[in-house]
Chain A
């Protein structure tokens, strides 16, 4: 996939980090620490494990930054490392999910184009309901919608992070939104 500008126009000091500038690394880590932790917590729900995986993700980033060709894609690269770490952890611990992550790969419905990153605005008092609705999504749907919401990654980027075809990502996003809406409508 060719280099593309991230929606977040903030220039990340990736070049400085390549030179070993600790201040640059700190900026990068602090930029992504909470989104990565949130993503991992939503996927694994194990606090200590998630701290470890964030740390391992950062370490892997330090060690393999040279392999990153396109600096604009640093964010999706970090998330793909975290995703791989989470999968490795799940494989090691034979995590028993209610639903298989591959459950919805056959679905091919497209996501509506007009949906933006803030297409779902939620009242403060509905936070708990939102959390509960998110919990009820399947692993793949939650993963896709989290990547979309947290970093506004494109379908292509999410496909690359999760190693599935873009059509599958669109399908997962579509079903995630539909299920979330249904759960929230029922609760609110």
Chain B
């Protein structure tokens, strides 16, 4: 005669070795996890070393994420920088033809011509006012009526 408890437990007795392994590895893990003052076992470098990778929990995980984030930000900045250098090789500097100090001879003369022309254009604009929008591109006078009323008026 057996009690229901024995009967139930006996059904899974074959699984005990595997359960033992789980218990032993978790007991080792618990030693590192709960007993901060007790030394870690010499066989494992980390308290969670005996656990499967999906269950490992390292105290340095937050720091690892911090460094990863920092590396990602700097990587992004570097990529943007390189991309800018590739797309704009001049690096945003003014073309030497606009720098009168470094220019000489014919180039200097050309620059002065351009400068005089620009001054002339600026003066002309000041005198006559801004040119305003191109009439060909202008949408034309707008009706004060809302769209629906306009449609109605047209009908």
Given contacts A17-B34, A37-B15, is CB(A58)–CB(B22) below 8 Å?
A: yes
Contact (Cβ within 8 A) A55 B22: yes
- Distance in Å: Cβ of A127 to nearest Cβ of chain B: 6
Residues of A within 8 A of B (CB): 17-23, 25-26, 29-30, 33-35, 37-38, 41-42, 47, 51, 54-55, 58-59, 62-63, 65, 117-118, 120-124, 127, 130-131, 146, 149-150
Contact (Cβ within 8 A) A38 B55: no
Tell me whether B37 is interfacial, beta carbon within 8 Å. yes
Residues of B within 8 A of A (CB): 1-5, 7-13, 15-16, 18-20, 22-24, 26-38, 41, 55
**B20 contacts which of A23, A30, A47 (Cβ < 8 Å)?**
A30
| Residues of chain B within 8 A of A54, CB atoms compared | 19, 22
Contact (Cβ within 8 A) A33 B34: no
Given contacts A20-B33, A146-B8, is CB(A118)–CB(B23) below 8 Å?
A: no
The contact sample of 7 A-B pairs, CB cut-off 8 A, is A20-B34, A25-B27, A26-B24, A42-B8, A118-B5, A149-B8, A150-B8
Contact (Cβ within 8 A) B27 A22: yes
| Residues of chain A within 8 A of B16, CB atoms compared | 33-34
